[in-house]
């Protein structure tokens, strides 16, 4: 019987230092589970350092490796998608190159999926601690998960990493979702299937540094909300109605007050406050609508999610 294939997808952006370390760890693990065949798919997300050269070097040493190099930086979501598109394995794992996703968990994850009894289609990981992370970032991350889980039907798990092992049918389901604005954490939830969660303590990256600034994470969070719930639009509408009612009541009160008591004070400061508040709310709501509109705009353009510049096949031709 042919060996079952496990595809491992690794998205890399400026990971020249981490990649060789990652490869060493991963191949050690696969030496121990030699009944499976490894297919390692490295995606170079427009790195500005020597990541691509590292990939070529690894490819020359190991024919289990494939690599895809983008024409520019398309973001981790695009890189993961490109990797998934090119997998052929019966099982597919998504991993980071910085060893924050320990490859040592893979055999356990496989074991869980292989066990027919528990009917899991996917084993995902979440970190239960956020050590090594700035407290302010942890605070906002927690707040984000609370908010989005209240608003969206799709469940997002706090602390969930992208590190997971999936069966083929789940991967195919994810690939069916061809949207341009990809928010994988939500897509995994959207496609459903039975997921087993493994927990582990946060591990700091082996080399290089994180690519996520606070601002980038903030934008990512907004993207997640816009992609998976339209509740903010409803909130905007409800706020509008609420302000109309308040204004209507105030008008009646003022008319009667003027008729009974006259109008001795001019009320200028309070007027300005009200104008500021109401126009602030209006702009905020317009912003929300704009956010959805811009996503729709990008989606209708049907631009490719990523553009490939070269792969290992180009190297063979030379």
Alpha-carbon distance values, 70 to 10, 13, 42, 76, 182 (Å): 13, 10, 11, 11, 17
Which residue, 73 or 138, has its beta carbon nearer to ligand UDP?
73
Least distance (Å) from Mg ion to the CB of residue 95? Answer: 10
- Rounded distance between C-alpha atoms, residue 168 and residue 183, angstroms: 20
C-alpha 219/C-alpha 120 separation (Å) is: 33
- DSSP, collapsed to helix, strand or coil, labels residue 61 as helix
Residues numbered 171 to 210 that lie near Mg ion (CB under 5 A) are 205
The edge-to-edge listing of strands for the beta sheet with 4-12 is 195-200, 122-127, 160-167, 91-96, 4-12, 36-44, 65-70, 308-311
Q: Which is closer to ligand UDP, CB of 99 or CB of 236? A: 99
Total site size for ligand UDP, rule CB under 6 A: 17
Regarding 131 and contact with ligand UDP (CB under 6 A), the answer is no
Site string for ligand UDP, 99-118 (x = CB under 6 A): -x------------------
Binding to ligand UDP in span 181-220, by CB under 6 A: 205, 210-212
Q: What angle do CA 241, 245, 247 make, to 5 degrees?
A: 115
> Which C-beta is closer to ligand UDP: that of 217 or that of 281?
217
Q: Which stretch binds ligand UDP (CB under 6 A): 71-79, 105-113, 233-241, 262-270?
A: 71-79
* Beta carbon of residue 202, minimum distance to Mg ion (angstroms, whole number): 10
Of 41-49, 89-97, 246-254, 300-308, which segment contacts Mg ion by CB under 5 A? Answer: 89-97
Cα(310)–Cα(70) distance, integer angstroms: 7
Residue 13 binding partner per list ligand UDP, Mg ion, none, with a CB distance cut-off of 5 to 8 Å that depends on partner kind? ligand UDP
Q: Does the CA dihedral 124-129-131-135 come out positive or negative?
A: positive
Binds ligand UDP (CB under 6 A): choice among 9, 68, 79, 227: 79
Q: Which does 76 bind (CB under 5 to 8 A by kind): ligand UDP, Mg ion, none?
A: ligand UDP
Is residue 11 involved in binding ligand UDP (CB under 6 A)? Answer: yes
Cβ of residue 202: shortest distance to ligand UDP, in angstroms?
Answer: 9
Q: Which of 12, 52, 84, 170 binds ligand UDP (CB under 6 A)?
A: 12
**Count helices and strands in the chain by DSSP H and E runs:** 11, 8
Q: Which residues pair with 38 in a beta bridge?
A: 6
Q: Which of 260, 208, 190, 185 is nearest to 48 (CA)?
A: 208
Which one of 7, 69, 100, 229 is in contact with Mg ion (CB under 5 A)?
A: 100
CB 196 within 8 A of CB 120: yes
| Phi, psi angles (nearest 5°) of residue 161 | -100, 170
For Mg ion, which residue of 16, 54, 77, 98 counts as binding (CB under 5 A)? 98
Regarding 97 and contact with ligand UDP (CB under 6 A), the answer is yes
- In 3D space, the residue among 171, 143, 173 whose CA is nearest the CA of residue 158 turns out to be 143
Nearest to Mg ion of 95, 221 (CB atom) = 95
DSSP bridge partners of 91? 6, 167
Block residue for tokens 């510049």: 309
Residues that bind Mg ion (CB under 5 A): 96, 98, 100, 205
Residues that bind ligand UDP (CB under 6 A): 11-13, 15, 45, 73, 75-76, 79, 96-98, 100, 205, 210-212
């Amino acid at each position: 019987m042919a060996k079952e294939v496990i595809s491992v997808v690794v998205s890399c952006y400026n990971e020249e230092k981490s990649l060789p370390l990652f490869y060493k760890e991963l191949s050690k693990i696969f030496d121990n589970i030699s009944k499976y065949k490894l297919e390692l798919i490295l995606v170079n997300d427009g790195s500005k350092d020597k990541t691509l050269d590292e990939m070529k070097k690894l490819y020359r040493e190991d024919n289990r490796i494939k690599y895809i190099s983008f024409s520019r930086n398309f973001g981790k979501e695009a890189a993961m998608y490109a990797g998934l598109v090119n997998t052929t394995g019966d099982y597919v794992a998504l991993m980071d190159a910085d060893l924050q996703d320990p490859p040592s968990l893979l055999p356990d994850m496989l074991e869980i999926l292989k066990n027919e009894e528990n009917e899991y289609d996917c084993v995902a990981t979440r970190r239960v601690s956020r050590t090594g992370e700035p407290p302010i970032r942890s605070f906002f991350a927690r707040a984000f998960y609370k908010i989005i889980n209240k608003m969206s039907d799709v469940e997002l798990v706090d602390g969930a990493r992208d590190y997971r092992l999936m069966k083929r049918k789940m991967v195919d389901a994810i690939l069916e979702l061809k949207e341009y604005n990809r928010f994988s954490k939500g897509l995994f939830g959207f496609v459903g299937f039975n997921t087993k969660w493994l927990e582990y303590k946060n591990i700091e990256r082996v080399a290089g540094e994180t690519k996520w600034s606070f601002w980038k994470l903030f934008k990512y969070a907004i993207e997640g909300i816009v992609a998976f719930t339209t509740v903010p639009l409803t909130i905007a509408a409800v706020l509008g109605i609420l302000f109309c009612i308040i204004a209507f009541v105030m008008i009646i009160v003022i008319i009667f007050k003027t008729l009974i008591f006259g109008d001795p004070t001019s009320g200028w400061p309070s007027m300005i406050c009200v104008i500021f508040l109401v126009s602030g709310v209006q702009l905020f709501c317009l912003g929300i609508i704009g956010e959805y509109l811009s996503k729709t705009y990008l989606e209708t353009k049907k631009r490719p999610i990523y553009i490939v510049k070269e792969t290992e096949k180009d190297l063979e031709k030379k």
